[in-house]
Each structure stands twice: as C-alpha cells, then as structure tokens.
Amino acid sequence: MALFGTDGVRGLANDVLTAELALDLAVAAAHILADTGAFAGHRPRAIVGQDSRASGEFLEAAVIAGLASAGVDVYRVGVLPTPAVAHLVAESGADLGVMISASHNPMPDNGIKFFAKGGGKLDDALEAAIETRLKEPWKRPTGADVGRVVLDESAAERYIYHLLSSLNTSLSGIKVVVDCANGASSEVAPEVYARAGADVIAISNKPNGLNINENCGSTHLENLIAQVKATGADLGIAHDGDADRCLAVDSKGEVIDGDFIMAILAADWKVSTVVGTVMSNLGFVKAMNELGIKVEKTAVGDRYVLENMLANNHILGGEQSGHIIMRNHANTGDGVLTALQLMQVMAKTGKSLTELALVMQRFPQVLVNVKDVDKSKLDSANKLHEKIDSHEKSLGDSGRILVRASGTEALVRVMVEAQSEEKAKEIASDLAEIVRSELK
C-alpha cells in the first residue's frame, strides 16, 4: 500500500506514523533530492514547521534528526500554517520544506508533507521514489558535514509581511470573527487581520496540543455561525488545523464555501479561466460560464489544481473545501491569504458578503462518507457502476454524481448534485448502501 496520499503521508501518530518512519522519510527525501541535483554546489537547507498537535513535537524531532544526519541544515519555524512553510521555502531559497500536520483530520492523526525548492509540493514520481529509498544503506556524513539545526525566530513575521503585502486596500470597517481551529493559525490569523485594519474577534485560538479541530474550525462551523450572529460581525472566517483552507459565513450565518469564494474572486478579478475540481458545484460552473469565464476541472487535491494552473498559466483555482490558490500571491493554497483577499473585495466594493455571494446559486449537493469499506475494490464494483449510470441518465443535465475513494482518509465519498435536495439525498443514500454492501 502506498504511503503517500493526495497530500503527503498521514496516519495515526505513533501507530501508523511513527518517529522511526518520520526519520526514514526525511533521510530518503534528502537522498532523492540530492540525486536530482537539487543540492548541487551548495550545502542543502530545509525549513521545518508543524501545526499544534502534541505528536508534532516528537515527529518534528525525528524529521530534524533525519535531515541533519543526512547533511541538511535545518531551520525550525515552529507552529505556523502549512502555506507559511511553502512561502518561507521560496522566499529563503531553501532546498526543501517539511510540514508536520494532518490538516483537518482529528488530533490523534498527524502527517508529513514535503515542499521542493520554490515551495511547490513534490510531484507523484518524487514521492514514489522516496518510498522506494526507505531504510536503504547509505554512507553517513561525519564531522563538519552533518547538518546544523537553527531556530528561525523571524519566520512568523516574514510570513505576516508577505500576507499584508498582498493588499492594496485597508480592511477598516470590517468586523470579522475568525475560528482558528486551535491550530496553526491561532496567532498569525488574528494578528494579520487586525494589522490589515479589521475589527477582529478570535475564537478557538488557544491550542493546547490536544484540542486542534475539536468541534471547531472549517469542519465544525456551528460555533463560528453563532458568534457571527451574536456579535453582529460582517462575516466569519474558519480555518482548518494547518490553515491552508478558508471557509466563510456571511452576517446571516450562511456558509460561503470555496466555490463561492472562487466565484467572488473570479468575478472581481475578471479572469478568463478558473481551475476547479471534479467536486466543484454545478452552480459554480454555470455561474462562471454566464460571466464568460471558463472552468477547467482536475482531480481532487490542490496539487492537481496547481499543476493545471502552472501548465496553462492560470492565476486562480481551488477546491470547494476552501483550498484556494492565487498564483499572483502564492504557490499553494493559503487560508489566511484567501480570507484577506475576500475581505478586500468587500472593502473595495462596499458590498456585504451576502451581496457578493449572489454571483452564483448553489445546486443542492449531498455528500456521504462511507466508512469501514475496502476502497481498493471501488474500480471493480460492477453493480455500483451500473447503478451510477442509471441515476446519471435520470438526472441528465440537471445534476451529477461522483463516487471516489478519499485520498487522505479510509473511506469512499459519494457526492450527488440535483435540482432538489430531496432527489440528491435519495440517490446518495441508494449509492452509499451499495458501496457498503459491495465493498465489504
């Protein structure tokens, strides 16, 4: 079974993802990059960051030990968002970045994702090569050739400067509630929004190593919605554990997901093309087409969105889940940057988020996560595929169906869009039941 999913290596910390595996992955990554010539002519440097999980402490130590033992100088940046690590790799000219995080997953999980020189994620071929090199015999450097470890105390401030430099309008007059998921954005996000001029109320911004994503953040919007309504805020912003995604709620408590955010930005920026995924809502696609904006779709995963953007020189893309990539400002999804840009459109236009969201009408969408099934059997599930074909014919152009194995969790996702929520629920329930019975 492959170690790498759509967003690095993830698993239950100290069970699937052990200190030994973290060390071996770091060593193998250093060797692979060295073989590609990435370190040619200079002493290699790496940036290592983490989110607020308790397990990140020992995993960080293991990753640093692996890199330093392979002759890589390591700059520790501590608890910072994943996109901060990507930015710092690019800004500093480092050869490698490592982020220790399981993003929106529950606290007991953790993960390791690598960034190449320039801050982009490693491609599939390099990740596969790292797996093949685990535990291989190697000649270890000694003496002055071993890597050194440095605490980079200016990293957070440099990232904040980068975020603020993306704005050309003050956010003064905007009242925002930000849910930091007790994660990596707990200090940075409220600070950035306040410096940008907004009136900021922060919640779930007191991480203790155990409470990341616990009934908070982008996967649990209830507290944020309640706080926006109670405080009369103009909007709410929700980040996940590593702050690479952003969801919003308007002043009425209505959810503004990644499709709405992309639609608002695309309309304001007047782009010709926006890159989405197969999960992008049909309402988003129709709205963009009506504005004369083409939508290109990729597989789920912001890495695939970025690949398309780079190949075709597009500047805006992302996912319904709130991973938004703005290539004129960053080379990876950045939830804090996304929130700043969304609020800037509000400030420039003088429109509320409710008004801006009228740019599209969302088709009712039902998503069922089917757990405890063998997702490797999905492609050969003939009865399921026959049923999908039957439902697709009945929907015609008024809906769509997507059944796929999750790239980050042990489950199969069944997504159905239709003109009525009742119809979407009916079809999703039928398909989910077949998934459970056929993929045992």
Query: Annotated active-site positions, please?
Result: 103
Q: Can you tell me the distance from the alpha carbon of 88 to that of 47, in angstroms, rounded to the nearest whole number?
A: 7
Q: Can you tell me the distance from the alpha carbon of 109 to that of 63, in angstroms, rounded to the nearest whole number?
A: 16
Q: Secondary structure of the chain in the HEC alphabet? A: CCCEECCEEEEEECCCECHHHHHHHHHHHHHHHHHCCCCCCCCCEEEEEECCCCHHHHHHHHHHHHHHHCCCEEEEEEECCHHHHHHHHHHHCCCEEEEECCCCCCCCEEEEEEEECCCCECCHHHHHHHHHCCCCCCCCCCHHHCCCEEECCCHHHHHHHHHHCCCCCCCCCCEEEEECCCCCCCCHHHHHHHHCCCEEEEECCCCCCCCCCCCCHHHCCHHHHHHHHHHCCCEEEEECCCCCCEEEEECCCCEECHHHHHHHHHHHHCCCEEEEECCCCHHHHHHHHHCCCEEEEECCCHHHHHHHHHHHCCCEEECCCCCEEECCCCCCCCHHHHHHHHHHHHHHHCCCHHHHHHHCCCCCEEEEEEECCCHHHHHHCHHHHHHHHHHHHHHHHHCEEEEEECCCCCEEEEEEECCCHHHHHHHHHHHHHHHHHHCC
Q: Can you tell me the distance from the alpha carbon of 254 to that of 194, in angstroms, rounded to the nearest whole number?
A: 23
User: For the purposes of burial, counting CB atoms within 10 Å of the CB of 93, is it exposed (0-12), middle (13-18) or buried (19 or more)?
Assistant: exposed
In the block, tokens 């993306």 appear at: 166
